[in-house]
């Protein structure tokens, strides 16, 4: 398995996540780690020539004592051949998206956000690296979900390609 037994490496006295994802099982673990993360649209980028998509998210964590924290995590998705997006414009750089899940269908990855927004990445293979970028900060915000979860349905229509 590409992820260590604990899914984390001990760095400077802290538990900072560092994950290498190469299959659907590993991707499910990463998706769980990133559920309820917030992503600034301006913190997403696609380098078509290099075949890579990168983003920084503020992931939500609940500590053993019930304290809630946010911690930045950088995610690199390699071997990307095509990107499509729905429900947002890359020009809205200051808008924030709420990540619900990352899912795979073969080597096609989908980042599903609330509000029916999504990013679909057609990849050569699943090749993802994610790493925490620091200790984070305390928050009092508790993510909440609509029990119907219509955002997780597959939004096929209105996907737009990107040459960013």
What is residue 115's predicted lDDT score, i.e. its pLDDT?
93
As beta bridge partners, residue 40 has 96
Is residue 147 scored above 60 in pLDDT? no
How sure is the predictor about 136, in pLDDT bands with cuts at 50, 70 and 90? confident
Please report the sign of the dihedral spanned by the C-alpha atoms of residue 116, residue 118, residue 39, residue 135. positive
- How many residues appear in the chain? 164
Whether residue 160 is contained in a domain is answered as no
DSSP state of 153: S
Query: What does the radius of gyration of the chain's CA atoms come to, in whole angstroms?
Result: 15
What are 84-111's pLDDT values in tens digits? 999 999 999 999 999 999 999 999 999 9
Count of structural domains within the chain: 1
Give 135's pLDDT tier (boundaries 50, 70, 90).
confident
What range does the domain containing 107 cover? 8-137
- Residue 24, C-beta contacts closer than 8 angstroms, at least 6 positions apart: 104, 126
Q: Is residue 151 part of a domain?
A: no
Tokens for 145? Answer: 């979900």
Cα(106)–Cα(61) distance, integer angstroms: 29
Q: What is the pTM of this model?
A: 0.79
The reply to whether 146 falls in a domain is no
């Amino acid at each position: 398995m590409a992820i260590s037994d604990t899914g984390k490496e001990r760095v400077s006295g802290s538990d900072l996540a560092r994950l290498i994802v190469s299959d659907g099982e590993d991707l499910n673990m990463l998706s769980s780690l990133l559920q309820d993360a917030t992503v600034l649209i301006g913190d997403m980028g696609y380098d078509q020539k290099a075949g890579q998509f990168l983003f920084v998210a503020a992931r939500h964590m609940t500590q053993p004592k019930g304290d809630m924290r946010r911690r930045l995590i950088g995610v690199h998705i390699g071997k990307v051949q095509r990107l499509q997006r729905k429900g947002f414009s890359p020009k809205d750089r200051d808008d924030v998206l709420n990540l619900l899940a990352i899912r795979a269908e073969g080597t096609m990855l989908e980042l599903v956000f609330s509000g029916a927004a999504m990013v679909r990445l057609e990849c050569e293979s699943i090749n993802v690296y994610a790493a925490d970028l620091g200790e984070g900060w305390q928050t009092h915000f508790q993510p909440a979900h609509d029990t119907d979860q219509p955002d997780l349905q597959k939004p096929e229509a209105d996907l737009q390609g990107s040459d960013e």
